[in-house]
Structure 1
Amino acid sequence: MMNVSNREQKQARLRQFLKILSEDPSLINRDGGRLEDSWSLSELLLFTGYSPRNEPVDVAELVSLLLKKLGLECGSEDMMDYVMNGGTVDDFMSVGRQEST
């Protein structure tokens, strides 16, 4: 069982990561794209083959599966580390594609 301080550290790190993501310029819709261009959770689950079996969706697992489906050999933890160290999601995806080829 995870001790409280470890859980609190993980929650604080996640909050920081989400804040950084919310400010990531590569995620801002620059071209006025339509909301209907984004995927729903059910579409992401189908695309990745992830089946939570009546449990809450593990978003980290879903992101890792999505990255693999997109041809990257990295997972959600790798993306989180990259972004937490000052990178953008676009940069991460570009670097990941280059390393996968």
Structure 2
Amino acid sequence: MNVSNQEQKQVRLKQFLKILSEDPSLFNQERHEECRSLSELLMYTGYLPRNESVDMAELVSQLLKKMGLEAGLEDMMDYVMNGGTVDDFMNTGRQELN
């Protein structure tokens, strides 16, 4: 049975979200600033979808760029799915810039 590209993306996303839910670096709440609303994140990045759904992959990629990282969401997904943490990904990306 042939699995469609869309189904493969959905499976990959579910795996990524499961791994994120278990990522110990995301449990350290002391280091995290207060949560921002979706509208604040959209304004911060300048991402303004016009009468369409928000593409969360695009929003995360733009947030990463605003934070000074060249990597996008796909890069973060690959890193995390290969055993890394979000915290390590962020630190590695910043170190590469320096």
Using the size of structure 1 for normalisation, the TM-score is 0.88
Provide, for residues 6-25 of structure 1, a one-character-per-residue CA deviation record: whole Å limited to 9, x for no partner. 11111000000000001111
Q: CA deviation at 1:4?
A: 5.6
1:24 maps to what in 2? 23
Q: Distance in 1 between matches of 2:79 and 2:40?
A: 26
Q: Which amino acid aligns with 1:28?
A: F
Q: Which runs of 5+ in 1 are unaligned?
A: none
Give secondary structure in 1 for the equivalent of 2:90: helix
2:90 maps to what in 1? 93
Please, what is the CA RMSD of the aligned residues?
1.9
Q: Which amino acid aligns with 1:38?
A: C
1:14 maps to what in 2? 13
What is the percentage of aligned positions where both structures have the same residue?
75
Q: CA deviation at 1:85?
A: 0.4
1:63 maps to what in 2? 60
Q: Distance in 2 between matches of 1:4 and 1:58?
A: 23
Q: Which runs of 5+ in 2 are unaligned?
A: none
- Paired positions, count: 97
